[in-house]
Structure 1
């Protein structure tokens, strides 16, 4: 009979293993010696040791699921409990128990981790929903649309929650996207309608602008073009494919008109500049008549100058007052000379001047006689008073005599 610390073989060839619960039958061995029988079953034990060691390593260093790990433990435990090996089976059971505890701890840890991940995923999805619902009210169509698409990609990358929670959040998320899409569609439909209305308005403005392009009613047409431009700006933008073409036609029509007007105005300005030169020469010719010495000849010369003046067209507006003022000055000098001549040759005026002079002369002579008489009587106060009165009458007489000389008297 052979034996070792963990097993023995009896005389019938039955192999036993020692455990805490006593000896357990391992099996029967008839093919060789007892030592060979023990060695065979000891190798079985070593195989279990290796298998348990590998399983411990897998549990500790890989992401082996708790379910698969427990299945592997149970499979090894069945072999240990079957007592088909010779060795410290109780030690193997202890290792398997510890491994079971480790797997269970790992299961709880992963459960807690999944719960944490689920909670984080819930919060993340709730945040996505809140942002989507806020974006649903935005009018920043491009930016909000791009952000909503990015939120969908983010959603797809998050773990699923329980069906009820996930479905509820997805419904809110999807509803927000749909609401935004509906509002955006309505906005662009309205925008398209506005742009179509703007296109029709601008086509009408273009037609009128083109019809006016050959007008020569410069002032009224330029004013109308300003009004058309104001209407153009107020009309808003047409569709992109029409806007540039309409604007080029509208602007082109204006350019034709204003180029023609500029050409005419440039020609007119040149003509008016030449007119100014001619009128300045006539003004200079008129000024040579001053001072007036021969009224009749000066009047005839000025009439000739004025006829030539009237035959000349317009001059630049800013130069008009100065050149016309020079002519007016000569004209006023002629009028004053005519008035003087009229007074000098007017019989009634001459008679009135002669009558006034005679009255003043008689008054002066009378005062002189009164002064002589007063002094002869020794009344110097009266004489002084009369002399002061004489001074006034003499001044009037001198002025009347001067006026009479204008009549050649």
Structure 2
């Protein structure tokens, strides 16, 4: 019989292993010596030690799942419990029990980690939903659309939640995207309608502008072009493929008209500049009439000058007030001379002036007599009062005599 600290072989060749629960039969050995039997089953034990060591390492250093780890532990435990090895099987059981604790701890950690990840994923998806619902109301079509596409990519990169929660959040997220797409589609449909209406309006404006391009009714046509331009701006933009062509036609029609007008105005300006020189010469000639000494000659000279003036035509607008003002000044001087002559030769006015002068002269003479009488009577106060009254009457008389002289008598 042969033995070691963990096992023995009896005389029948039966191999035993010592455990905390007593000896357990390992197996029967008939092929060789007892030492060979113990050595064989000890190698079996060493194999279990290596297998357990490898499993411990995998559990600690790899992402081996708890399920797979437990299957491996159970497989080794079956071999240990079968007592087909000689060695400290209780120590192996303890290592396996400790490994189970490690796996359970790892399982709980992973469970908590998954719960944390799920909670983070929930919050992340809820935040995506809130942002998507806010973007659904945005009118920044391009920026909001690009952001919503980025949110979809972010959503796809997040872990799934439980089916009910994930479906509810996705429904809100998808609904927000659909609402935005619907609003954007309606906006651009309305925009297309507006642009089509703008195209029709601008087609009409272009047609009218082209029909006016040959007009020579410069003022009204230029005013109408300004109105057409205001209508053009108010119409809004047409579709991109039409806008530039319509504008080129519209602007081209205006250019034709305004180029023709500019040419005509340039000729007119040259003619009016020449007219201004002629009228300035006539104004200078008219000014030589002043001062008026012979009304008849002055009137005839001005009439001749004015006839030539009227025959000349227009002058530049900004020069007109000055040159016409010079002629009007001469004309007013002649008119004033005519009025003075009329007053001087008017019999009725002369008679009224003579009558007034006679009345004033009589009043002055009367006052002088009264003053002499008062002085003679020694009433100086009355004489002084009458003297002051005489001064006023004498002033009126002097003025009346001067007016009478204007009538030549």
Measured against the shorter chain, the TM-score band is: 0.7 to 0.9
Q: Aligned partners of 2:383, 2:140: CA distance in 1, in Å?
A: 112
Q: Aligned partners of 1:66, 1:390: CA distance in 2, in Å?
A: 145
Q: Aligned partners of 1:175, 1:289: CA distance in 2, in Å?
A: 96
Q: Secondary structure at the match of 2:250?
A: helix
| Greater Cα offset, 379-388 or 152-161 | 379-388
- Unmatched segments (≥5 aa) in structure 1: none
Alpha carbons of structure 1 residues 97 and 300: separation in structure 2 relative to 1, 3 Å: same
Q: Aligned partners of 1:203, 1:39: CA distance in 2, in Å?
A: 107
Pair 1:265 & 2:301 matched: no
Q: Aligned partners of 2:116, 2:377: CA distance in 1, in Å?
A: 149
Q: Aligned partners of 2:363, 2:94: CA distance in 1, in Å?
A: 169
Alpha carbons of structure 1 residues 282 and 88: separation in structure 2 relative to 1, 3 Å: same
Q: Secondary structure at the match of 1:127?
A: helix
Q: Secondary structure at the match of 2:215?
A: coil
Q: Secondary structure at the match of 1:3?
A: strand
Alpha carbons of structure 1 residues 356 and 27: separation in structure 2 relative to 1, 3 Å: closer
Pair 1:22 & 2:22 matched: yes
Tell me what 1:324 maps to: 324
Alpha carbons of structure 1 residues 57 and 326: separation in structure 2 relative to 1, 3 Å: same
| Greater Cα offset, 159-168 or 353-362 | 353-362
| Greater Cα offset, 287-296 or 191-200 | 287-296
How far is the alpha carbon of 1:65 from its aligned partner?
Answer: 0.6
Q: Aligned partners of 2:26, 2:365: CA distance in 1, in Å?
A: 189
Alpha carbons of structure 1 residues 125 and 394: separation in structure 2 relative to 1, 3 Å: closer
| Greater Cα offset, 102-111 or 126-135 | 126-135
How far is the alpha carbon of 1:91 from its aligned partner?
Answer: 0.7
Q: Aligned partners of 2:319, 2:58: CA distance in 1, in Å?
A: 109
| Greater Cα offset, 163-172 or 73-82 | 163-172
Q: Secondary structure at the match of 1:408?
A: coil
Q: Aligned partners of 1:62, 1:172: CA distance in 2, in Å?
A: 39
How far is the alpha carbon of 1:396 from its aligned partner?
Answer: 7.4
How far is the alpha carbon of 1:354 from its aligned partner?
Answer: 7.8
Q: Aligned partners of 2:398, 2:376: CA distance in 1, in Å?
A: 28
Alpha carbons of structure 1 residues 53 and 298: separation in structure 2 relative to 1, 3 Å: same
Q: Aligned partners of 1:261, 1:218: CA distance in 2, in Å?
A: 7
| Greater Cα offset, 44-53 or 34-43 | 34-43
How far is the alpha carbon of 1:116 from its aligned partner?
Answer: 2.0
Alpha carbons of structure 1 residues 48 and 391: separation in structure 2 relative to 1, 3 Å: closer
Alpha carbons of structure 1 residues 361 and 11: separation in structure 2 relative to 1, 3 Å: closer
Q: Aligned partners of 1:180, 1:387: CA distance in 2, in Å?
A: 109
How far is the alpha carbon of 1:403 from its aligned partner?
Answer: 6.2
How far is the alpha carbon of 1:289 from its aligned partner?
Answer: 1.6
Alpha carbons of structure 1 residues 95 and 315: separation in structure 2 relative to 1, 3 Å: same
Q: Deviations over 1:43-93 (max 9, x none)?
A: 111111111111111111111011111111111111111212111111111
How far is the alpha carbon of 1:7 from its aligned partner?
Answer: 1.1
Q: Secondary structure at the match of 2:326?
A: helix
| Greater Cα offset, 374-383 or 125-134 | 374-383
Q: Aligned partners of 2:27, 2:110: CA distance in 1, in Å?
A: 42
Q: Secondary structure at the match of 2:49?
A: helix
How far is the alpha carbon of 1:320 from its aligned partner?
Answer: 2.6
How far is the alpha carbon of 1:395 from its aligned partner?
Answer: 7.2
Tell me what 2:314 maps to: 314
Q: Deviations over 1:263-317 (max 9, x none)?
A: 3333333333332222121111111122223333333222211111111112233
Alpha carbons of structure 1 residues 142 and 358: separation in structure 2 relative to 1, 3 Å: closer
> TM-score, with normalisation over the residues of structure 1?
0.86
Alpha carbons of structure 1 residues 330 and 80: separation in structure 2 relative to 1, 3 Å: same
Q: Aligned partners of 1:192, 1:404: CA distance in 2, in Å?
A: 91
Tell me what 2:391 maps to: 391
How far is the alpha carbon of 1:387 from its aligned partner?
Answer: 8.9
Q: Deviations over 1:1-36 (max 9, x none)?
A: 221111112222222211112222222223322222
How far is the alpha carbon of 1:196 from its aligned partner?
Answer: 0.8
How far is the alpha carbon of 1:227 from its aligned partner?
Answer: 2.0
RMSD: 3.4
Q: Secondary structure at the match of 2:293?
A: coil
Q: Secondary structure at the match of 2:393?
A: helix
| Greater Cα offset, 387-396 or 138-147 | 387-396
Q: Deviations over 1:181-236 (max 9, x none)?
A: 22221221121111111111111111112212222222222222222222222222
Q: Secondary structure at the match of 2:99?
A: helix
